[in-house]
């Protein structure tokens, strides 16, 4: 079984500052890793995913994440945030060996970008 822990429920940051949203996972098997963003009262939008290869993954809207197998982490970063990045961010994993695409989600991190 897998579990996902997002270490911060809320992250306040000023506009144009860098940000890191932390995600740790626990799994006895190899996993795929995902970050999704949710704007208020909307569905989830895929930001990026790690499948294999380079551990640094680039996504949309200037976000990137780094997979660290030894620390079982997949932290999301952006060097300079905008007001429009204010949203809730979810980290998720799925089992590489499964014949389904079932996702296990973290509890979410609310990013609050202040002017």
Partner 1 sequence: DGGITQSPKYLFRKEGQNVTLSCEQNLNHDAMYWYRQDPGQGLRLIYYSQIVNDFQKGDIAEGYSVSREKKESFPLTVTSAQKNPTAFYLCASSIRIGHQETQYFGPGTRLLVL
Binding stretches for partner 1 (CB under 8 A): 4, 9, 32, 34, 36, 41-46, 49, 51, 90, 94, 96, 99-103, 105-108
| Shortest separation between residue 80's beta carbon and partner 1, angstroms | 27
Please, what is the minimum distance in Å from the beta carbon of residue 53 to partner 1?
A: 12
Contact 94, 29 (CB under 8 A): no
Closest CB to partner 1 among residues 9, 55: 9
Handedness of CA 29, 98, 48, 4 (dihedral sign): negative
Nearer of residues 64 and 105 to partner 1, judged by Cβ:
105
The β-bridge relationship of strands 10-14 and 109-114 is parallel
Q: Under DSSP, is residue 20 helix (H, G, I), strand (E, B) or coil?
A: strand
């Amino acid at each position: 079984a897998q579990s996902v822990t997002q270490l911060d429920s809320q992250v306040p940051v000023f506009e144009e500052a860098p940000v890191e949203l932390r995600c740790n996972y626990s799994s006895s098997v190899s996993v795929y890793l995902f970050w999704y963003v949710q704007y208020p009262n909307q569905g989830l939008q895929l930001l990026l995913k790690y499948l294999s290869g380079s551990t640094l993954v680039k996504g949309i809207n200037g976000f990137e994440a780094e997979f660290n197998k030894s620390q079982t982490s997949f932290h999301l970063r952006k060097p300079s945030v905008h007001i429009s990045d204010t949203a809730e961010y979810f980290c998720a994993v799925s089992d590489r060996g499964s014949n389904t695409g079932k996702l296990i989600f973290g509890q979410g991190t609310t990013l609050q970008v202040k002017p």
